[in-house]
Structure 1
């Protein structure tokens, strides 16, 4: 019996010593370990921040690999005359009787559908115009001024401030059109093509989303020195989705964009 008591006491002593050793040898979770954990969290936050930053960078469109000779980038304006009229076979007649280039019909329809879904049904005011029709419009404006006593030379200069000369209108390409939304059209029938349209919800929607379908606001504010045409929030031009997004994201005009492309092409030739 005495032997049994001694053995039990020995086993109990061994167990106590084992627990003490186990406690003593546990990893120490002191200040250093906390610093390491904190640093890992900081590094993780930095990594996440870098990932977000990279995502933001990749969301900004890069310069598309296109050439200045691309059909969608043809430049027509007050200082750039149309090289040749669009063949009638390349024009498509819309339901309202107006014409657009066949290459942009799908994009135009997608834009109109998206605008309607957003609550801004579009009203097309003007699309393709032949040079002869532009002559009628231009001369009509000149005649109105001369009938008021303005000399023909002065009348021509005044009309050129708001209307392009025949052969120099972007409407000749079939790639451009003037458009407003139904609400604006219903309430401002006397002067639908007004710069105030750009302040409306419909005008702002077009300015923001037209690029998604390949169209740009062709004559933006404070760019008259480049386009030679005053601000027109109703005039949109097809240039292709990639080009449109780059142009709008970088606040460029078509003239400025083409200049960038020319510089790249020049470097490539050299």
Structure 2
């Protein structure tokens, strides 16, 4: 989670960044837009599923710290401090520096780089409705401004993976609320449970030790994912496939 209180702590490795031009069907506002490779794969699938490939343009993806500094400074000059505070993150507080955030807009000639139009109708509405199933959340929603400290941005989507995005959508949680909710779901306590047609999923939080290392216990499962929350610990997502025998 990246926000004003939690600046990015680890720069993404360049070998995990893939140009959107590697998927020729995706329209981009400019050449050279990059995304983290898993994020790009699921974005492509989402665009195809929503039938938005010919109607949606990728406006902005990965940014370096220097890119964000330039965008922030330019917005201050062009739009003023109030607008910039509501729509542009400070350097090292921008999700775009992770390679996991994408700004999208309507495919047309006059695209606003800071606030591209992305209406709640047609293929754009389908994109929003299907996003969680592909691991994306609309990061800044109306009514959550007090928590996110950013105004509603219908164009800004963040890849956090499935089923996390699906859980957040069902609970109407923003990312800050989700991270807070998971703190009570520790390894020794009740886990956050999720089930779909393919898997049973256990999700739980492990606080980071004050020292150099943290031991991460993993429940019995077929596969698991481990992610730091960029705040104070780690999130374990453990999958048990329904196609296998029940566990004893």
Give TM-score scaled by structure 1 length.
0.61
Q: How far is 1:166 from its partner?
A: 0.6
Match of residue 131 from structure 2? 210
Q: Do 2:47 and 2:127's aligned partners in 1 also have CA atoms closer than 8 Å?
A: no
**Taking structure 1 as reference, are residues 85 and 115 closer, same or farther at Cα in structure 2, changes over 3 Å only?**
same
In the superposition, relative to structure 1, how do residues 193 and 202 fare at CA in structure 2: closer, same or farther (>3 Å)? farther
The 5-angstrom pairing of residues 1-270 of structure 1 reads 75-95=1-21, 96-116=31-51, 121-144=55-78, 155-156=80-81, 158-182=83-107, 185-186=108-109, 189=110, 191=112, 194=115, 197-265=118-186, 268=189
Aligned-residue offset at 1:174 = 0.5
Hey, what's the Cα distance between the residues in 2 that align with 1:143 and 1:119? Answer: 34
Q: Give the structure with the higher percent helix.
A: 1
By how many angstroms is 1:201 displaced? 2.2
Give the structure 2 partner of residue 48 of structure 1.
none
Query: RMSD value over aligned CA atoms?
Result: 2.5
Partners of 1:129 and 1:174 within 8 A in 2: yes
Task: Give 1:192 shift.
Answer: 7.0
Higher relative contact order (CA 8 A, sep 6+): 1
Consecutive unaligned residues of structure 1, counting only runs of 5 or more, are 1-74, 146-154
Which sections of structure 2, spanning at least 5 residues, go unmatched? 22-30, 190-205, 207-248
1: CA distance, partners of 2:140 / 2:180: 17
Mean alpha-carbon deviation: is it higher for 226-235 or for 190-199?
Answer: 190-199
Per-residue deviation, 1:205: 1.5
Q: Deviations over 1:194-229 (max 9, x none)?
A: 586333323322221111111111111111011111
SS in 2 for 1:241: coil
Post-superposition shift, 1:102? 1.7
Give the number of the structure whose residues are more often strand, by fraction: 2
Distance in 1, Cα, partners of 2:70 & 2:53: 36
Residues 124 and 179 in structure 1, CA contact (< 8 A), matched pair in contact too: yes
Note if contact 2:56-2:124 (Cα within 8 Å) is conserved in structure 1.
Answer: no
Partner residue of 2:197?
Answer: none
> Bigger shift: 96-105 or 162-171?
96-105
Task: Tell me which structure has the larger Cα radius of gyration.
Answer: 1
Displacement of 1:90 after TM fit?
Answer: 1.6
